[in-house]
Chain A
Amino acid sequence: MAPDSFNSFPLRNARVHEVFGPSAFGFAAIVAAQMAGDFMWVREAWRGDILHPVGLATICGPEKLLAAQTANQTDSLAVAEEALKDGALSLVVIEITRPLDLREGRRLQLAAKAGNTVGLCLIPEGMGSNAAETRWRATPVFDAEREGSTLMRWEIIKNKSGTVGAWDVRWDRENRRLHVVSPPVQRAGSQDMAG
């Protein structure tokens, strides 16, 4: 697949998308960096993994971030729905810990539509919801050529309005842009490394 067909990104507006894999945080940060307005990160307070704002600063400004700490997933979803519906934010990231049922997924989707906001669920692997517009797997790839690289493989494994595919991307820290490196078919060596 040619790099110019990387048309599922930036994510489609007014929809809820899903991402999983080890680089899901990086994916979410890059999505936020490409949006103009503020964004909200909804997480359950008990989780040990936290977003490190200093690390985030290389991708997007932490001053755009509002973090909401909730007690459980029900609260998370309620907060996310409220934030999506309001439209004051451009992106709402939700950390999901148990699978969404159809009703919850659909409600988020409707809220995103009402507020014209992008929703992004960080899901554990295999816990996708049927209502999601796209589902991505983001995995880091070892870059033999550059030191301190941010080479990642982004695979789109579900797409309601387009085709699936896989791309190797790298975040350019200096210019704050995303580079699509080369089609993975030409990099057969890296494919089994990523597995």
Chain B
Amino acid sequence: MWFPRLSSERALRIWPVDAPFALTLRQNNTEQVYCLNAQAEKLGLHRGMSVADARAFCPDLVTRPARPDLDARFLSALRRWATRYCPWVGRDGTDGLVLDVTGSTHLWGSEANMLEDMRRRAGRAGLTVRLGLANTRGAAWALAHYGNGATLAQEPQKALAHLPVAALRLDETMSTALQRLGLRTIGDLCATARAPLARRFGPKLMLRLDQALGHSPETVNPEADPPHYGVRLTFPDPIGLMADVMAATSRLLGPLCDKLKTHEAGARALTLTLRRVDQGSQQVELRLAAAMRDPRRILPLFERGLSEVDAGFGIDQMRLVAAVVEPLPVQQIGAASARSSGPDRLNDLITRIGTRIGLENVQRFLPADSHIPERSFIIAPAAYSTAENGWSVGRPRPLRLFPPEPIAGTGPRPPERFRWRRMALATARTTGPERIAPEWWLDDEGWRTGMRDYWHVETRQGRRLWLYYTPQNPGWFVQGEFA
């Protein structure tokens, strides 16, 4: 199965356009046409031409940026869909599927009927599809890409004889070279002596030819479906007691954690859906500070969320899904696990606190490379970061930092006496100035007043303050207090 216009048709399914349409992708520093619809192809546009050229050909061309990642997801969805025809489905490049339908065509009556069904269903989904069915994977590929309408081939040698050599999945340079030698079709190639060809073009050409004709085997690699981490439990009678719900949760956690363990994964977020007798459902979400799969540790973490559930007339079904899963390799029991009991406890604590105030509100400070006091550190969620050492203490910095508070003062030297937070303070000793210039590459509201001269001011009253003076817009401010 070949979808010649997969990307553009995926985009048009979401947002239909009845005009020449192209997807563009930035490659080699220019915007290039990535995929076209049928109308645009009719106007003579082709893949790989620059967008400026395409617009010159066709001024009313509608363009949108291409999303190869979404195309790949769409193709994997199509792959799952294609398992309706046979269980042995693999991807072929970025825009094709390869199906091994041996033994399953009779379910549609005949091979032709099955192809007709494929074409009809794909057409209903708005996809152009070109099909090829043959005894070998290579021949099917050739028929799909180059067979003009001919899709069925019983005898590969005969069906392929008139197709161009490019149908053998050869690269551009090799097929051009073959054409220069006068070998235009696969039939010509078969009639030529093999040894000189192999000497000139390497083993790949002969391998491709043999694969297409069925002399050497080629397998279809089906992709395994990603494991589904979800379990459910239906009760004969509705339950409503907290202890019952917890017991049921622990029953669900067991198989789920076993499954996570076989795939060497750990859950990072779990969703427990409780369906009530009256068809209403409630969800309890649990976000964990670290990937884990130990049911005994996860169960107590559900307690808080479950205590808020309104059971109504009773709960008759529970579903537990690991919504976010991370790889978590199996660890050897021993010194390593004994050492890691500390972080585990801390992660459990972060999870429990995170269920109350939100996991992103439990934070850690990380050092950052900046002289601006407000930007000399990064605040990161503790669940998604590790503690970093490497705080460099150059000039003294205050322990407490607050938004700048203006005080009365003139001149570049700190004022002798000033009032701050309704306190009269007298300067006893000053250290400074330390000039910090704003980072011009980042626009910061607070630094619009220009550079700052910071002073460490010790007052006779004891308070040790961090003052700054802005020479470009004269004024004095207090920004911090030392220990």
Contact = CB atoms under 8 A, between A and B. Distances in A.
Interface of A: 22-23, 25-26, 29-30, 38, 45, 48-59, 61-71, 75, 78-79, 82-83, 86-89, 139-144, 147-150, 152, 171, 193-194
A67 to B, nearest CB: 5
Nearest to A56: B399
A185 B441 CA distance: 55
B462 A147 contact: no
Given A66-B350, A70-B361, A78 B356 contact: yes
B401 A38 contact: no
Given A64-B387, A140-B464, A193-B460, 9 more contacts: A25-B399, A48-B403, A52-B373, A52-B377, A54-B367, A63-B388, A83-B353, A142-B428, A147-B431
A137 B229 CA distance: 55
Interface of B: 342, 345-346, 348-350, 352-353, 356-357, 361-365, 367, 373, 376-377, 379, 382, 387-389, 391, 393, 396-403, 428-429, 431, 456, 458-464, 480-483
Contact of B349 (A54, A88, A142, A150): A88
Given A68-B362, A142-B459, A55 B480 contact: yes
A190 B127 CA distance: 86
A14 B363 CA distance: 24
Contacts of B460: 142, 193
A82 B462 contact: no
Contacts of B373: 52, 54
B483 A79 contact: no
B462 A22 contact: yes
A139 B480 CA distance: 16
A53 B365 contact: yes
15 contacts: A23-B483, A51-B401, A54-B376, A55-B398, A58-B483, A61-B391, A64-B387, A66-B350, A66-B363, A68-B353, A68-B363, A69-B361, A71-B357, A83-B349, A88-B345
Contacts of B461: 142, 193-194
B238 to A, nearest CB: 31
A59 B483 contact: yes
A153 to B, nearest CB: 8
Nearest to A59: B483
B364 A67 contact: yes
Q: Most chain-B Cβ atoms within 10 A of its Cβ — which of A45, A55, A89, A143?
A: A55
B458 A142 contact: yes
A64 B382 CA distance: 11
B399 A51 contact: yes
A40 to B, nearest CB: 8
A75 B391 CA distance: 31
A141 to B, nearest CB: 5
A194 B402 CA distance: 23
Q: Most chain-A Cβ atoms within 10 A of its Cβ — which of B364, B398, B459, B483?
A: B483
B402 A54 contact: no
10 pairs of A and B residues whose beta carbons are closest in the complex: A26-B483, A53-B365, A57-B391, A63-B387, A88-B345, A140-B462, A55-B399, A52-B401, A55-B397, A54-B397
Given A55-B482, A194-B462, A67 B379 contact: yes
B378 to A, nearest CB: 9
A75 B401 contact: no
Nearest to B378: A53
A86 B345 contact: yes
B290 to A, nearest CB: 13
A78 B361 CA distance: 14
A143 B462 CA distance: 8
A68 B379 CA distance: 11
Nearest to A152: B483
A62 B356 contact: no
Nearest to A47: B402
A37 B11 CA distance: 54
Contacts of B387: 63-64
Contacts of B431: 147-148
B364 A65 contact: yes
A52 B399 contact: yes
A49 B428 contact: no
A18 B396 CA distance: 27
B399 A26 contact: yes
B483 A150 contact: yes
B363 A69 contact: yes
B391 A68 contact: no
A56 B377 CA distance: 12
Contacts of B345: 86-88
A54 B391 contact: yes
